[in-house]
Structure 1
Amino acid sequence: MLLKTFGWSFAVTAAGLALAGVLWGWKGLAIVAILSILEISLSFDNAVINAGILRKMNAFWQKMFLTVGILIAVFGMRLVFPVVIVAITAKVSPYEAVNLAINDKDQYEHLVTGAHPAIAAFGGMFLLMIFLDFIFEEREIKWLAWLERPLARLGKLDTLSIVVALGVLLVAATTVATDAAHGGGDKTATVLLAGIFGLITYLIVGGISGYFEEQLEEDEDGDEESEESGAGERTPAAKGGSSVVGLAGKAAFGLFLYLEVIDASFSLDGVVGAFAITNDIFEMALGLGIGAMYIRSLTVFLVRKGTLDEYVYLEHGAHYAIGALAAILLITIKYEIHEVITGLIGVVLIGASYLSSVRRNRREDANGGGDSPSRSEVPSGV
């Protein structure tokens, strides 16, 4: 199971480190290895969130996540994205941006870090919406029950998460953005525009995936009702000429799109933070790409092992880590926060949720709860 899931990651690691050693010597090999570890430490919560979405997909889409998805993650976010950012912010052609990345690495690094306020605002708002929609939703299983119960009651107001997110963006634009550390000067307008774009992106992508999921659930409910009635009537989907399989494919595509945008948002801080280690885009893409491969393999491993079903508070911990990362991204518009701190916050929150899950399972087993419905109704209260 372990080798089957992580086999490609091991192979990519070996090939990547060997290539780094050949191209850049021992120094390059060490930089690529450090970047890989950095990416894994910063993105463990990403794997948990991804697993919660990926487990809704079939084996085909899980393979798509590991193949097409990794190409998007490595070449799209780690190689192409920084070049596009430089082209937009410096108002140069993509060719000139690539030329800067290869021949004038210091200027390239300066331009990318100068774009940090926009990157942080976009990613921060997108991740904040994920956290808010989770924390405001009524859930049968609660980790921090004393906090989650009242927030779930408030969440009955449909647009509350959007209102809170816009309020946070307004505060960030009028405080940390007025004297940004990266790029210098007043970045209020930049932060507002990028943040609103991040919010709109979340609403569009999340809306598409949510729509397909709802359509799939309605179609499956219709099939169940038809089977129970025994009347042999065709379901609405069948009458319309579509099938459950086709509808599932659309739903999976919507979720896949949502998954890729989430993954991209998670990678923003890693891409910018990597410049503290190297300003070579190829070393960066190789190191972060190896780390991204492990995160994807870990995501599939969690799905196949049913880890989220067994340790039910892991998703809670990961979403709290997302909320913390969103706040950190917005704060870093003005203040420097070391990547180690960012990574440790996520590890601590997920570790705490894992330990809470273990204690809950032991308590339920001791009470003879087993897999009974009551097992999912007892909050930890940790």
Structure 2
Amino acid sequence: MILKTFGWSFAITAVGLAFAAWQWGWEAFGIVLILSILEISLSFDNAVVNAGILKKMNAFWQKIFLTVGILIAVFGMRLVFPVVIVAISAKVGPIDAVQLALDDPDRYKALVTDAHPGIAAFGGMFLLMIFLDFIFEDRDIKWLGWLERPLAKLGKVDMLSVCVALIALLGTALTFATHAHTSTGTQDKSATVLLAGVAGLITYLVVGGLSAFFENRLEEQEEQEHEAEEKAKAEGKEVSAIGLAGKAAFFLFLYLEVLDASFSFDGVIGAFAITNQIFWMALGLGIGAMYVRSLTVYLVRQGTLDDYVYLEHGAHYAIGALSVILLVTIQHSINEVITGLVGIVLIAASFWSSVRRNKALEAAGGDEDRKDPDEDKTAVSV
């Protein structure tokens, strides 16, 4: 089962890492490996959401999502999107950005360094909004209850996450951005950081709005199908499962693609906190995207989506940490390995807390719906 589901992912990982080591050396090997793990970690909740929706689709549309969808995910968001970000930030054409990366790496590095304050502000705000919307939401399951309970109460205030993000942006513009690191030394990039940060915030709100739109359309389709099914049963007619699946399939597919694109933003933007090499970035994120697809299939086939309940928390804490790191790197340099390890450590801690919680629940009788009295204690002790 494991080999059948993850076989292609294992093969692409081996080829990708070997190519990175052969083409660029062991530093590239390490960065690509960290990026792959980071993408898998940040996109685990993406796989869970995908699996929950994908299981409602018929076999044909599942295949479409796992074939056409992977092309969009890997080549669109993980390869083209980083190039577009660099091109816009450095004010060069996409083809010129790729050509510079190939022919004149020193010039390319200087352009990326000069564009980094804008990239960091845009990405930092986008990631910060993801984290804030998560941490301010009241959830049944809490990992760090001592922190999440009071923040969930504060989250009842409308637009609090936007206000906090804007305050963080203003603080960044008045501190780190006044002495931003560039290829020619430190410069005042306050205006650039403010503009890029607002753009990142707007992008998050637009992507979230599109996701909500497709989710609402999906719910409407499901309600219509349920009413049609009840009516057919009352009249003694048979319900065509294929027709119902096909009726909602297009909106399901669009919704999944928008969701996947929105989840891809955090991986791509977070990758800029680790490296500015777009080829290393595309390779690492592409490998990670393959595992996300394989994990989605695995979760659908196994039928278990909630075994490790704290992983989503760990992924969002990693996103929050990356957002802070991105904003700090506007002025200060932070080693890429340290940046990558922060996310990995948080994910590992949440995974271990989930394992301990499952063992505690199993010992208490296996009722996962029951409130675990030691839940917060277990999580904090990791």
**Shared fold (TM-score greater than 0.5)?**
yes
Name the CA shift for 1:34/1:158 in 2 (closer, same or farther; >3 Å): same
Note the residue ranges of structure 2 that are not aligned, 5 or more in a row: 236-242
Q: Distance in 1 between matches of 2:126 and 2:61?
A: 23
Whether the 8 Å contact between 1:32 and 1:287 is mirrored in structure 2 is no
Equivalent in the alignment of 2:38: 42
Residue 159 of structure 2 is aligned to residue 162 of structure 1: no
3-state DSSP of counterpart to 2:43: helix
Name the CA shift for 1:165/1:2 in 2 (closer, same or farther; >3 Å): same
Equivalent in the alignment of 2:268: 267
Equivalent in the alignment of 1:180: 180
CA shift, 1:92, in A, is 3.7
CA shift, 1:309, in A, is 0.3
Letter in 2 for 1:326: S
Q: Deviations over 1:87-132 (max 9, x none)?
A: 4344444444343233222101211222111111111111111111
Report 1:1-382 matches (<5 A): 1-16=1-16, 20=19, 26=22, 28=24, 30=26, 33-58=29-54, 66-76=66-76, 79-183=79-183, 184-221=186-223, 232=234, 245-247=246-248, 249-271=250-272, 273-275=274-276, 285-286=282-283, 288-298=285-295, 300-301=297-298, 304-305=301-302, 308-371=305-368, 373-375=369-371, 379-381=375-377, 382=380
Q: Distance in 2 between matches of 1:363 and 1:302?
A: 23
Q: Distance in 2 between matches of 1:340 and 1:303?
A: 34
Name the CA shift for 1:377/1:245 in 2 (closer, same or farther; >3 Å): farther
Whether the 8 Å contact between 1:220 and 1:244 is mirrored in structure 2 is no
3-state DSSP of counterpart to 1:181: strand
Letter in 2 for 1:53: V
Note the residue ranges of structure 1 that are not aligned, 5 or more in a row: 234-241
Q: Deviations over 1:40-60 (max 9, x none)?
A: 233342132322321232166
Letter in 1 for 2:38: L
Q: Distance in 2 between matches of 1:6 and 1:230?
A: 41
Whether the 8 Å contact between 1:116 and 1:272 is mirrored in structure 2 is no
- Root-mean-square deviation (CA, aligned residues, Å) is 3.4
Q: Deviations over 1:173-196 (max 9, x none)?
A: 111111112354111111111111
Q: Distance in 2 between matches of 1:302 and 1:231?
A: 32
Whether the 8 Å contact between 2:266 and 2:319 is mirrored in structure 1 is no
Q: Distance in 1 between matches of 2:281 and 2:141?
A: 40
CA shift, 1:259, in A, is 2.0
CA shift, 1:75, in A, is 3.8
CA shift, 1:67, in A, is 4.0
Name the CA shift for 1:250/1:29 in 2 (closer, same or farther; >3 Å): same
Name the CA shift for 1:289/1:212 in 2 (closer, same or farther; >3 Å): closer
Equivalent in the alignment of 2:238: none
Q: Distance in 2 between matches of 1:331 and 1:145?
A: 27
Whether the 8 Å contact between 1:51 and 1:303 is mirrored in structure 2 is no
Q: What TM-score do you get using the length of structure 1 for normalisation?
A: 0.81
CA shift, 1:374, in A, is 1.8
Whether the 8 Å contact between 2:361 and 2:372 is mirrored in structure 1 is no
Whether the 8 Å contact between 1:87 and 1:97 is mirrored in structure 2 is yes
Q: Distance in 1 between matches of 2:231 and 2:95?
A: 64
Which has the larger displacement, 204-213 or 79-88?
Answer: 79-88
Which has the larger displacement, 166-175 or 1-10?
Answer: 1-10
CA shift, 1:261, in A, is 2.9
Equivalent in the alignment of 1:236: none
Letter in 1 for 2:315: A
Count of aligned residue pairs for this structure pair: 365
Name the CA shift for 1:207/1:376 in 2 (closer, same or farther; >3 Å): farther
Whether the 8 Å contact between 2:136 and 2:152 is mirrored in structure 1 is yes
Name the CA shift for 1:166/1:308 in 2 (closer, same or farther; >3 Å): farther
Name the CA shift for 1:188/1:64 in 2 (closer, same or farther; >3 Å): farther
Letter in 2 for 1:51: A
Q: Distance in 2 between matches of 1:11 and 1:290?
A: 10
Q: What TM-score do you get using the length of structure 2 for normalisation?
A: 0.81
Whether the 8 Å contact between 1:179 and 1:186 is mirrored in structure 2 is yes
Letter in 2 for 1:202: Y
